[in-house]
Amino acid sequence: MVAMRLAGVGLHRERWTAATNNALDEADRLRRDLETLLAIENVESNIQVKAGLVRIGVDVEKTNKHALSDYCTDPVVEKLQRYRTISRYAGNTGKNILRAADIYPDERLRPELAPLATSTGRFACRKPNLQQVPKASDFRSCIVPSDGNVFIVADYAAIELRVAAKVIGDRGLTAIFSEGRDPHVATAAVVLGKTPEEVTKEERSRAKPVNFGFMFGMGPSRFVGYAAADYGINFSDAEAQAVRESFLRAYPGVGRWHKRVGAKMAREVRTLSGRTRRFPNRTQGYSERLNMPIQGSAADGMKRAIALLHNRLKDTESQMVLTIHDELVVEVPKNSAQQVMTIVEEAMKQGMAFYIDPIPVEIDVSIRSSWAEDDVFQSTQQ
């Protein structure tokens, strides 16, 4: 972590300033539109926003993201959510990143990477928080390597589902990864009663919240809001109930695991590395008890991979510069990128496999001219 922070990561200041100003301009346009559509004076007032929404038929008690999830297809609600996302980002993170670049003479960003900042042990990034940089190319293309260098961006593929297969031991889930199949296509197929070949791209997308929601114990009503708020995908209550039943029939080990955890409500829960999280009582924290061994074990695997990679990069003139969620970014001289890409991929596989073997570990890895997905030179993505 010290080496990563000392190295820092480059920022294309002019490009970033332009992207932030464009976002602020869009937020201002959205603000004016919303105040007209809702017949209010201040879109920052939740009281006024609620009253305006009720007037147009969006009858909610609160105006936060989850409270509005049932109305996410309403054009006014959609515009409100976008306004809040853009204004919060451009007005806070966008400006904070520029201030952070002013700290050092080389104008590289050196965020604090906290290895145990979350309850499960995942990394947090702050001062500035690069985890909040949108995936949109106009922002991520501003995070750049030095002249003559490129980025290697490596991301674990479906890692929490792979860890779940190891922890839970469900045969169907394990078989998906052992046979090299796509878990979202597989779930879509069993839920819809189709063959994998018949599953469309849209149906695969609808399976993502199904896998991540019902794997970790969500009930149908909570799932409806989760799918809408986090994925922009709408399910009716009846659809959610039917999909949940199909999911648990397809992966019966998951249901048995849910029941075991709920019946025991252990005071201590461990990751696959043995790292422990203690709970204050046995009456609360059911979802957290399900989540901890999965997300926590994935975090442990990432840390082990980082330790392996740090040693293996010493003679390559390369340096890890960023870790975000399940992703690592390495800055490397362009003429040695191919060699280092192999080193990165092998270290990440070995670090995670130490805990979840024999479940296969797959890495999506690419060589890029910036952090943006559009700026790829070469890729081994699945």
Would 3 be classed as within a structural domain?
Answer: no
When pLDDT is cut at 50, 70 and 90, the band that residue 382 belongs to is: very low
Determine the structural domain holding residue 314 and report its residue range: 111-159+287-382
168 and 273 part of one domain: yes
22 within some domain: yes
Where does a domain end: 64, 89, 106?
106
Looking at the whole model, is its pTM more than 0.95?
no
Same domain? For 373 and 297 the reply is yes
- Asked if pLDDT for residue 53 goes beyond 50, the answer is yes
- Position 229 pLDDT exceeds 90: no
Confidence of residue 381 (pLDDT cuts 50, 70, 90): low
- Are 277 and 269 contacting, i.e. CB atoms less than 8 angstroms apart? yes
Kindly state whether residue 226 falls inside one of the protein's structural domains.
Answer: yes
pLDDT of residue 228: 81
Question: Does residue 7 form part of some domain?
Answer: no
| SS3 per residue for the chain | CHHHHHHCEEECHHHHHHHHHHHHHHHHHHHHHHHHHCCCCCCCCHHHHHHHHHHCCCCCCCCCCCCCHHHCCCHHHHHHHHHHHHHHHHHHHHHHHHHHHCCCCCCCECCEEECCCCCCCCCEEECCCHHHCCCCHHHHCCEECCCCEEEEEEEECCHHHHHHHHHHCCHHHHHHHHCCCCHHHHHHHHHHCCCHHHCCHHHHHHHHHHHHHHHCCCCHHHHHHHHHHHHCCCCCHHHHHHHHHHHHHHCHHHHHHHHHHHHHCCCEEECCCCCEEECCCCCCCHHHHHHHHHHHHHHHHHHHHHHHHHHHCCCCCCEEEEEECCEEEEEEEHHHHHHHHHHHHHHHHHHHHHHHCCCCCCEEEEEECCCCCCCEEEECCC
pLDDT for 102 beyond 50: yes
Q: How confident is the model at residue 266 (pLDDT cuts 50, 70, 90)?
A: very high
Check whether residue 133 and residue 54 sit in a common domain. Answer: no
CATH number at residue 30: 1.20.1060
Q: How many domains does the chain have?
A: 3
pLDDT, position 95: 86
Rounded to an integer, the average pLDDT of 170-194 is 95
Residues 36 and 18 in one domain: yes
**Quick one: 164 and 219 in the same domain?**
yes
How confident is the model over 355-374, as pLDDT tens digits?
999 999 999 999 999 999 98
- Apex 351 CA angle, 346 and 353, nearest 5: 90
**Mean per-residue pLDDT for 300-328?**
95
Examine the domain organization and report whether 279 and 229 are in the same domain.
yes
Residue 71 and residue 125 in one domain: no
Averaged pLDDT for residues 100-118: 92
pLDDT in tens, 112-131: 999 988 899 999 999 998 98
